Amino acid sequence: MSANPAPGFRNNPDKVITLEPHDGTVTVSAAGTVIAASSHAKVLSEPPYPAVLYVPFADIDFSQLEKTDHTTHCPYKGDASYWSVKPAGSEGRNAMWGYEAPFDEMADIRDHAAFYPDKVTIETS
């Protein structure tokens, strides 16, 4: 039995969310400042939503971020925390999110974060 099971999967057992390694590198920048660069990102697929790249915290420059009090809840992943990207100014408010204590089924996104592509530049190679 899980210690922190996701109520979403319990209520909707046919829901499928996959997490796979990204084959290549990911660079996130704003106003010419690199915020994150990683060759260890993960691709989260949750149809019908677009795939999202999750970057390890270790590959993110947190000195360029400011944690906000904004949070959201996903019944499959858990509670998300948000950070603003300082070099992006007001456009970067709540531009990055991560699940610091995800539900057990999504534990592999712990210590990873994702960025809104309309608030920062995300490049892959």
By the 10 Å C-beta count (0-12 exposed, 13-18 middle, 19+ buried), 16 is classed as exposed
Give the angle subtended at the CA of 73 by the CAs of 17 and 93, to the nearest 5°.
105
Give mean pLDDT, residues 11-39: 96
Q: What pLDDT score does 100 carry?
A: 95
Number of folded domains in the chain?
A: 1
Spatial contact of 7 and 24, defined as CB atoms under 8 Å apart? no
Distance CA 117, CA 113 (A): 13
Integer-rounded Cα Rg, in Å, for the chain is 15
Distance CA 4, CA 87 (A): 36
Question: Is 74 part of any domain?
Answer: yes
For residue 92, what are its two tokens? 């970067």
Question: Is 106 part of any domain?
Answer: yes
- Closest C-alpha among 117, 57, 121 to residue 87: 121
Structural domain containing residue 26: 7-124
Question: Is 61 part of any domain?
Answer: yes
Question: Is 2 part of any domain?
Answer: no
Question: pLDDT for 54-105, tens place per residue?
Answer: 999 999 999 999 999 999 999 999 999 999 999 999 999 999 999 999 999 9
For residue 66, what are its two tokens? 């400011």
Torsion of Cα atoms, 93 then 40 then 75 then 118, to 10°: 30
Q: What pLDDT score does 10 carry?
A: 87
Distance CA 64, CA 81 (A): 16
Question: Is 82 part of any domain?
Answer: yes
Question: Is 1 part of any domain?
Answer: no
CATH of the domain at 30: 2.170.150.40
| Average pLDDT score over the chain | 95
Distance CA 58, CA 90 (A): 25
